Structure formats: structure tokens, C-alpha cells
Structure 1
Amino acid sequence: MIVRVLGSAAGGGVPQWNCACVNCVAARGGRAPRRTQSSVALSTDGKRWLLLNCSPDIAHQIEAFAPLQAPRLRGTPIAGMLFTDANVDHLGGLSVLRQHGTHHFLLRSSALVRAIALAQPSFAPFGRPPHRWLECPLDATSEPHDPDDLVGNRLIVRTIPVVGTTPGYNGRRSARGAVVAYEIFERGTDRRLLFAPVFAAVDDVLRAAIERAELAFLDGSFYSDDELITLGLAAKSTRLLGHSAVGGPDGTLERLRGVRARTIFTHLNNSNPMLDPSSVEYASVRERGVEIAYDGMEIAL
């Protein structure tokens, strides 16, 4: 399985259009890499691809990665998409892909995410033919829609509900299925990828999934719970925004003790000090053997 990081940043990217924090200024000045909004692409053959979330930056991400570009006059190698939640940062790319012509998209998410997304006028067309938006059963594997479906045929996908909330535009409600992770492996192998770019806590269910994985992409949005408050960027804590802080006594790093999987933090907010390789926070992550995702990162699993 080929795993390609299309984007590694949280909403707004790095630099964010309306931000002049240290990390955004460094990225604008060429002293740090730019990052587009979080998404990953998977393929078993390098020809047909499954997207894990579809960010508003999808057009730029396609142009930066030749295997996702049109293979003929009109067409796409994108064979399907999985969504972890209904946040606009994770499915906003659908509105960019409206010039689909005769191509249909096969989309999947939890039932709750599907309902929230299709209630929005900009996403509603993707719930009607020629597209199909299927519901992923929680705590179960998804069945293939047809013989050409990557999911259920070549790729086995299990949907794992994680601690989280609905998006801000939906009241930020705690609800089962509001946020999910995906455990994915290629049929005939047991090398598991865990994609969990958003969660509010590492509970026992998520911890067990991380332990089963060979490769795990985890929520690295914020290093500390008061990160935005300390920087004067917002009045809300990391936890209130639906994320688990990386550092601290109750942070994700502590919950990862003893985990053998190759672990990579993604979905990095522009405020996160981990973006600076000279920072104490970056060092604390790398000392634990955990990596930090970057746009264009590619892994063979």
C-alpha cells in the first residue's frame, strides 16, 4: 500500500491567510515549509487512489502529485473518499471538485457525518446520483459497493468511533460517530494503517487500535491545552475545540508510552511550536520516536 500525505496542517494551513504568528511568518519567508490542509491518499497499485478526507486545498494537492492528475482528456484516478468528520476543513474540497463531468464519486463516512454534511447546500449534490455517499458501520468493516470499489475488495476498512464533537457550525455536540478513525489494511496482509487526525482524547478503544497498527497518523493539532490562549489567538482551550493536546501529563504523548507502531503527528495547527525544529516541543516529540508529517511525505506499507 502506498501512503501519500497530501496535506499536514490543520484548518487554514501554514501560513494561514490572516495570521502573522511566528510559524506563519517563517513559512511566508521561506524559513519553514508551507503546509496545506490535512489529507492522505492511499493506493494499492499507484493507479487508483482513495482519499482520507478532502481538504479545501485539494486542487493544489493534486497539482503537486502527478498520480492524482487527470489520466486522459477528462477523468480522475480518485476512486473514493473516506471522511473522519463533517468539519469543512476535511470535506470542503468537494466543492472544488464540482467540475466532475460524468465522473461519479463514491464517498463514505459515519451516518452522523453524512447527515450533517448533506444538510449543507454546498455538499448536498454529493448525496445524489451520479454520486453515492455510503454510511460506514461503526465498529465494523465496510462492504464493497461494487466489484470496482477499492473499499472491501482491495482495502479492508474498519470504522472506529473516537472521542470528539460535531463541527462548530453544528453546535459542537458530543455524539457517537461525530468523529471516527479508520483502520485500513490491504487484503491478504495484516499491515495496518490507522488514520486518526482528530480526537479529543486517547481512550482505551483508540489506544488498542494504535497498538494494532503498523503505521498510525494521529491528531497533532496543538501541543498544549492552552496554546491558543497563551498566544492570544483565541479564548478556547484545545480540549474545547475537540482535540487532545500532544504534551502535558494527560497528553497524547503520554498515552503512547509502550506503543511500537510507527507514529506520525499530522493536522498541525499554525500555532503549534512543534513546527519549529529548534523548539523544545519538537525535541520532546522526536525523542520519543514520534514523527511529524509534512506535505509530500510518502510511505510504503
Structure 2
Amino acid sequence: MRLIVLGAAAGGGLPQWNCGCRNCADARAGVIPRMTQSSVAVTVDGSAWVVLNASPDIRVQVDTCPQMHPPALRGSPIASVVLTNGDIDHIAGLLTLREKTGFDVYTTSAGLDILASNTVFGVLDPALVTQRAITLDTPFEPVPGLRITPFAVPGKVALFLEGDTLNLEEVGEQTVGLMLEDGVSRAAYVPGCAAVPDWLHDRLDGVDLLLFDGTVWNNDDMQRTGTGEKTGARMGHVPLNGAQGSLARLSDLSARKVFIHINNTNPILQPDSAERATVIDHGWDIAYDGMEITL
């Protein structure tokens, strides 16, 4: 199994278009690397690729990744797209993939409802793009030799679906993780997660690779940096730091562990920060655009 991180950032990317925080300013100045919005490509044969979440930046991601280039006059090695939730930073890229080349879209019934209820997604020609329902805890094969099992993780509905009442740690079809298996190795992809209960820890135990939600360091990152009022919890993301944070809850796993979906305000993006050193000391890597992992 081979994985390429097409985009390592959370929604908005790095730099975010309207943000002048230290991380965004340093990214614009070339002090730290730029990052596009979260997406991963995976293959088992080096030819057919499955894209996990269609980032709004997917055109640039495909252009800068040679493995994603057209193999002929027209066409694409992208055989399918698998969605983990309905967030804009995970579905908007589908609109870019409308140029009359076939692929399959896999998502939960809740995800299919989102695509069906927004008529703009009608630009995906149904004669070429097949939308397929996936079921929690039921494996499917988007390409031969790659088995994916979706599983529920705590999270919330997409921002544009929020109503008067909101469960920030709902467990159901609205936010899923993906277990990837090729008969030899197992990798888990969880770019959005609101909490790490014991049952989730146990589910992730034993994988060879864990790509996990690294959105915020502290719950109040945005408040501390003066960039907004929303907490990590309000956005549906568990912080890295703290007694119930992902570092404390998951660092004992034997897997290779990588934080992905990193917000532009997260101090781990600074190469000399104490927070980044803490992440490394706990045995984690930090994803970056173009990162390649072979299992």
C-alpha cells in the first residue's frame, strides 16, 4: 500500500486567504511550507488511485503530483473518491472533477443525501460518475486489492447543515474514519474527530499507520491567536494537547502516527516550537503536502 498526502491542512489551507497570523505570514514568506487542504491518495498497484476526500485544492494537488497526471490524451489514474464527511473542504473538489472522465464516489447514505440535495453537484455526469453508498463497518473495494471499511467516529454535521440544536460528538454517518487494508498492511485515516473514547482507541490499536486529526493544539487556538472565537470542540475537532487530547489518548499505539488536517493557527507548524517538539517526542510525525508513505 502506498499513500501520498495531497494536502495536509485543515479547511482554508496555509496560508488562509484572509488570515495574517504568524503561520500564514511565514508561509507567504517561504519560512514554512505552504499546505493545501486535507486529501490523501492511496494505491496498491501504482496505477489505479483512490482519493480520500476531494479538497477544493484538488486541481493544484493533481497538477503537482506526477502520479495523478493523465496517462493519455484524456483520462485520469483517479479511479474513485471516498468521502469521510460532508465538510466543504472534503466535497468541494468534486466540482473540479466534472470534466467528462469517469470515476466512482463512495460515501455514506448521509453523504449521498448531501450531494443529491445540492443541485450544483449535478455537474457530475451520472453516466460517468457513479455515486455508491457505503455502510458503516462493512468493507468495500474501490479498486481491486484495496479493502476499505468505514467506521463512525465522534463528530458533527457539516457547517452548512447545522441547525438550532447541535451534537458536537455525534456518532453516526456524518463523520467517519476509514480502515484501509491490502492483505498485508492496515492504515487508518481519521481527518476529523471530536473525541477519543476508549472504544475508538481500541479500534485503532494494531494498525500499521494512523493518519489522525491534527487540527488544533489547544481547544482555544483561535482565541489565543486572535483569529476567531470558535473552539476546536465547536468545529468538531479534538485538540492534540490536554488530558483528553489525542497525544495523551493515542501515543501508546504502536503504529506509525501522523497528524493531518492541521489548522493554520496550530503552533506545531513552527519548526522550532515547543509544541512541535512535544509531538515528535510522543512519537508522531506531522504531515506535509507531498509526503509519501509505503507500507
Q: Give the TM-score normalised by structure 1.
A: 0.93
Question: How far did 1:235 drift?
Answer: 1.4
For 2:251 and 2:55, the matched residues in 1 are separated by 31
- Is structure 2 residue 152 aligned with structure 1 residue 161? yes
Question: How far did 1:125 drift?
Answer: 4.1
> Match for residue 109 of structure 2?
111
> Match for residue 184 of structure 1?
180
> Match for residue 273 of structure 2?
279
For 2:199 and 2:135, the matched residues in 1 are separated by 16
For 1:110 and 1:212, the matched residues in 2 are separated by 25
Moved over 6 A (4+): none
Unaligned ranges ≥5, structure 1: none
| Aligned pairs (5 A) from 1:69-218 | 69-99=69-99, 101=100, 103-126=101-124, 128-142=126-140, 144=141, 149-150=142-143, 153-171=144-162, 173-174=166-167, 175=170, 176-186=172-182, 188-189=183-184, 191-218=185-212
For 2:251 and 2:73, the matched residues in 1 are separated by 50
Q: Which amino acid is the alignment partner of residue 50 of structure 2?
A: L
> Match for residue 66 of structure 1?
66
Q: Which amino acid is the alignment partner of residue 89 of structure 1?
A: D
For 1:257 and 1:17, the matched residues in 2 are separated by 33
Q: Which amino acid is the alignment partner of residue 185 of structure 1?
A: E
Aligned residues: 290
Check the 8 A contact 1:198/1:243 in 2, yes or no.
Answer: yes
3-state SS in 2 of match to 1:40: strand
For 1:106 and 1:69, the matched residues in 2 are separated by 18
For 2:64 and 2:128, the matched residues in 1 are separated by 28
> Match for residue 16 of structure 1?
16
Check the 8 A contact 2:206/2:253 in 1, yes or no.
Answer: no
* Coordinate RMSD, CA, aligned: 1.4
> Match for residue 223 of structure 2?
229
Q: Give the TM-score normalised by structure 2.
A: 0.95
For 1:277 and 1:89, the matched residues in 2 are separated by 25
Question: How far did 1:204 drift?
Answer: 2.7
Question: How far did 1:45 drift?
Answer: 1.6
For 2:220 and 2:256, the matched residues in 1 are separated by 28
- Percent of paired sites with the same residue: 37
For 1:107 and 1:16, the matched residues in 2 are separated by 28
Check the 8 A contact 1:194/1:209 in 2, yes or no.
Answer: no
Unaligned ranges ≥5, structure 2: none
**Cα offsets for 1:25-78 (capped at 9, x unmatched):** 001001110101110000112111000001011111111111111111111010
For 1:89 and 1:212, the matched residues in 2 are separated by 29
Between 21-30 and 118-127, the greater mean CA deviation after superposition: 118-127
> Match for residue 219 of structure 1?
213
3-state SS in 2 of match to 1:59: helix
